[in-house]
Structure 1
């Protein structure tokens, strides 16, 4: 396993982050525990969840599942860099969502109880809250870090200017601020290249890429549909995008077949090769999918292959960051 620093911090994390969106929902508890154990055995020390995950059963379910896994002992909790999130409404009550100081602190304490742990390594804001002033957000985060309940603060689904605004406000308080940003990023969805990644690099913020295979679209979707083995690919984000990108996806699968590589591994390796990316957030629902993601670590993409991928899934505008992407 390869390890890298989380942004400008001294904290080391694996180049793959094990996301838990499917655990306990598309995988049974036993399968989920097996995935978690295998990931830990293979060196994945970075675990991502959210307070609302498992909402298909009830909100908070996935954190409880992880808490049960930690409770098995064996040093599981101590070996893991644990990330969870705050923002989404956990009930219909008006103050049970967003980034008010009240909700940030209450959500952290609720996550700690569900996770059966004393601290959260990375507490991520799941979305920007346009009603919450940064003075309020950072005051709450400072309280949690001073109490030892949170080690670092991250963000998710922010724009580049949100990062800048947040960091400048944190700097005025002599607070570390945001150390990671989790954004959707894959060959099909490349918006973050314009301003988010340049801003993250400027401020020393790690970029974590969620949906690195666009919900299965880049994992051999056409082949799986032909074989009748498509599961996630046949629904949701991947299915909606398939009609718009069918020609490119077909070319991509042909390109992968030509080099004898699995499309899922190539797609994951592509994300890891992008400047500024610390780790893709993988969401395996089986040991096979976990092993496929691990296989991407050993896949080196040539400049020629990367150029061919850009031809199939071109970057926005002129390519590269803004303003050059849309100007001279």
Structure 2
């Protein structure tokens, strides 16, 4: 059996921790990619993986993405990520969450958690009973913190507007056709913001009824999840799970730009080149979806309120434009350019 550091997605991670609490049923992985800029910050994903190897791969890829995301967002935080291996019934108990909190506490502040897929701000309250190294807690109106989803959606919305300006040469989203894959907290919030701007929407989600409901509300169209990426649209916006852009799906794209909030959208490093070769503008996910970590990061650091959070999120289009401009000048894919910039920021060649 290969060691963790022999896995393709191991990127000189500083540490990968495995936790097991028999009494509560907790099985968790905390991957710390880098603490060069500060404590490794990144949410915890509660998910049923088909096998343990997939859970490890997710933790490795997501933690590396958090290093890049936090660096590009200008946060004094490193990158980490946790995954909790859920059973098929998605059984989650307070005892399991408290055990996870104790696992975080054992790292002495090296990792800071918040909610991700399958987790809520109420779950963070339970975890907070065992450790101070947690963000995304319920907060009063006007304060930084709470559910990061709406802030991620806001950043993605601003990124979609930037992509439309760059790829379509338009200043308004009126009648711009956006195909959204995944209409949960982020994708659903994005759909609302886009509809308010007059965009035309095509939606898909594993919860087909949810997609149909939102499509009816926003005068859009709902399609099945198998066809959403090949819909003829101005912009395709992946907002579900990662690795959806591979050789096959990229060949079927019929859009001018891809700009969405899902983490790790590219299945392999070569897929950034494939999108570039097709002349499709790509918004690197960890740049466009940084709104949530900006929110909970400032909460944890005690630096500013909701107004400050939104002011920092408003800078996301400028970061995307920097990546796109450098890509245009050097002829390298936007995904590669963003990686280079992020790695310089965290002092990796």
TM-score (norm 2): 0.33
TM-score (norm 1): 0.35
